[in-house]
Amino acid sequence: MTQKILIINFEEIYLKGKNQKIFIKQLVRNLKRKLTKYQDYLQFTKAQGGSYFIEIIKEIPKDILEDIVHIVKNTPGITGFYVADTAGINMDEIIEKAVAHAQRYAGTFNSFAVVAKRINKSVPFDSMRIGREVGSAINERLGKKVDLTRPDFKLHIKVRGQYTIIYSKIIPGIGGLPVGTSGKAIAMLSGGIDSPVSTFMAMNRGLHITAAHFHSVPKTSPQSIEKVKMLARQLTKFQGQIKLYLIPVLDIQEAIAKHTDSRLRLILLRRIMLKAGEAIARQEKAKALITGDSLGQVASQTLENMKATEAATNMLVLRPLVALDKKHIIQTAQQIGTFEISILPHDDACGLFTPKSPETKAQLKYVEEQCRKLPVDELISQALAKSEIVIISDTSLIKPD
Ligand code: ATP
Ligand code: MG
């Protein structure tokens, strides 16, 4: 028999009118994919009233249930969900299970109300009687008082087809939109604090992300790549599996250093990164590039420099962090579990050849003139030919928060 049921709500998806069906279908597909390893325990059922059920259909170890709850909690598109207990459709069992459920939360409330509903009309008792009998059992056995107007704790009981569901506290989800419903994008993922946050924000607006990281191995350590893999792994808890491109840029950096104005090194490298991102986007059928730029955060992230950088590509460049201050970005990084990884010491490709006085107000015309000194297309195709693609999928390595 069904042991427990996760009842999923998705408010924002309701707002989508006739697209609603597509959104829900995608959400369920995402959930099924993320929960593949536990599929033997699960059954997905569309419920009446717009919610969705994930039924636990056999005895389940506590840590697996916890992991399932953690995965559901971190799936974009879910505003909240309940973990419901189940009982048969006879009054004695409903009372026993309801009291046991309430007892688990006993420390959190003094007053309570029972909200009962009978969907299966063939049982020999009505919802009023369920409310009354369960109410008095909780009152007698747990010493809590009934308050139907402003209860601390609401216990929902629904008698459905062949079983009853009992639930109370909603577990908040991360909201947003199901990954994939907004299309695909390429996220430029460094080892820093910002880009994992911008990648997460893009996922949470329904984008399916492929990540691109540019490295200068062997001039930078191989650990810098391990760190980016760790960040990507942490981000799989939202999207599920992530494809990560690792692109070597040392040759490009050397060409830039040799042939161009040193003040423009970073901008020229960023331009090439975006152009390489564009090539990957074509391959992956993605329609935008995502970066972790935040206006004015560092001297190089000025309007002039952003303009001179993004002019290298015709692609839409999205910067989810553009107006956020560092404090807010760090808070989000802590919440999504990337901060601790981002602050590990590492050497980044960009840090490797930062000039003493980088340009902060680049003139596009001059940048383009300098860019023409480089065989850009050739450099990019060589780098891409040497790039490595890894599929990051291990959500089980992530500790629940
Ligand atoms: P981050 O913390 O994301 O590194 P940052 O504040 O350090 O950001 P920059 O280093 O100037 O800013 O980078 C701006 C953006 O350019 C990054 O957020 C990222 O999207 C992209 N970027 C920078 N370096 C790399 C890299 N080595 N590989 C991929 N993308 C990069
Ligand atoms: Mg950086």
Q: Which residues, 6 or more positions from 367, have their beta carbon under 8 angstroms from its beta carbon? A: 264, 267, 268, 271, 308, 311
Residue 307 pLDDT > 90: yes
Identify whether 399 is part of a domain.
no
Half-sphere exposure (Cβ direction) of 232: Cα atoms closer than 13 Å: 28
Residue 399: CB atoms within 10 A of its CB come to 7
Minimum mean pLDDT range among 158-167, 208-217, 349-358: 349-358
- Give nearest CA residue, ligand 1 atom 31: 190
Q: Are residues 137 and 66 in the same domain?
A: yes
In a mutational test of the pocket of ligand 1, which residue from 186, 188, 190 has the highest number of ligand atoms less than 8 Å from its CB? 190
Q: Are residues 164 and 252 in the same domain?
A: no
Stretch 240-259: mean pLDDT: 96
Containing domain of residue 131, as a range? 4-174
Q: In the listed set 123, 142, 174, which residue is the last one of a domain according to the structure?
A: 174
Q: What spacing in Å lies between the alpha carbon of 298 and ligand 2's midpoint? A: 10
Residue 51 pLDDT > 80: no
* Torsion angle of the four alpha carbons 324, 330, 332, 335, in this order, in degrees rounded to the nearest 10: -170
Q: What spacing in Å lies between the alpha carbon of 316 and ligand 1's midpoint? A: 17
Decide: pTM greater than 0.75. Answer: yes
Whole-angstrom distance, CA of residue 94 vs CA of residue 88:
7
Q: In the listed set 129, 158, 174, which residue is the last one of a domain according to the structure?
A: 174
Identify whether 18 is part of a domain.
yes
| Positive/negative CA dihedral, 16, 173, 200, 307 | positive
Query: 262-276, pLDDT tens digit by residue?
Result: 999 999 999 999 999
Q: Are residues 225 and 367 in the same domain?
A: yes
Q: What spacing in Å lies between the alpha carbon of 176 and ligand 2's midpoint? A: 26
Amino acid at 63: D
Q: Are residues 229 and 343 in the same domain?
A: yes
Whole-angstrom distance, CA of residue 237 vs CA of residue 34:
8
Query: 57-75, pLDDT tens digit by residue?
Result: 999 999 999 999 999 999 9
346 lines ligand 1 (CB under 6 A): no
Read off the pLDDT band of 397 (50, 70, 90): very low
Residue 361: CB atoms within 10 A of its CB come to 10
* Torsion angle of the four alpha carbons 277, 310, 229, 344, in this order, in degrees rounded to the nearest 10: 160
Query: 312-352, pLDDT tens digit by residue?
Result: 999 999 999 999 999 999 999 999 999 999 999 877 766 66
Whole-angstrom distance, CA of residue 71 vs CA of residue 58:
19
Identify whether 106 is part of a domain.
yes
Which residues place a Cβ less than 5 A from the ion ligand 2? 190, 192
Minimum mean pLDDT range among 119-123, 184-188, 239-243: 119-123
Whole-angstrom distance, CA of residue 269 vs CA of residue 191:
16
pLDDT number for residue 401: 43
Q: Are residues 313 and 170 in the same domain?
A: no
Residue 401: CB atoms within 10 A of its CB come to 11
**Is the bond leading into 76 cis (omega within 30 degrees of zero)?**
no
Cβ atoms of 147 and 113 closer than 8 Å: yes
Identify whether 400 is part of a domain.
no
Identify whether 401 is part of a domain.
no
Q: Are residues 16 and 120 in the same domain?
A: yes
pLDDT number for residue 46: 85
Closest ligand, as measured to the CA of 300: 1
Query: Quick one: tokens of 325?
Result: 């201050």
Q: What spacing in Å lies between the alpha carbon of 20 and ligand 1's midpoint? A: 35
Q: In the listed set 140, 174, 208, which residue is the last one of a domain according to the structure?
A: 174
Q: Are residues 238 and 361 in the same domain?
A: yes
Closest ligand, as measured to the CA of 352: 1
Identify whether 261 is part of a domain.
yes
CATH number at residue 70: 3.30.2130.30
pLDDT number for residue 12: 61
Whole-angstrom distance, CA of residue 344 vs CA of residue 217:
18
Q: Are residues 202 and 165 in the same domain?
A: no
Q: Are residues 169 and 302 in the same domain?
A: no
Q: Are residues 218 and 313 in the same domain?
A: yes
Q: Are residues 326 and 255 in the same domain?
A: yes
Query: 138-170, pLDDT tens digit by residue?
Result: 999 999 999 999 999 999 999 988 889 999 999
Whole-angstrom distance, CA of residue 203 vs CA of residue 75:
10
Closest ligand, as measured to the CA of 294: 1
Backbone Cα Rg of the chain: 26
DSSP string, 16-37: TGGGHHHHHHHHHHHHHHHTGG
Q: Are residues 303 and 289 in the same domain?
A: yes
297 lines ligand 1 (CB under 6 A): yes
Instruction: State the total domains in the chain.
Output: 2
Identify whether 88 is part of a domain.
yes
Read off the pLDDT band of 298 (50, 70, 90): confident
Burial class of residue 49 in the structure, from the number of CB atoms within 10 Å of its CB (0-12 exposed, 13-18 middle, 19+ buried): exposed
CATH number at residue 388: 3.40.50.620
* Average pLDDT of the chain, as a whole number: 92
309 lines ligand 1 (CB under 6 A): no
Identify whether 116 is part of a domain.
yes
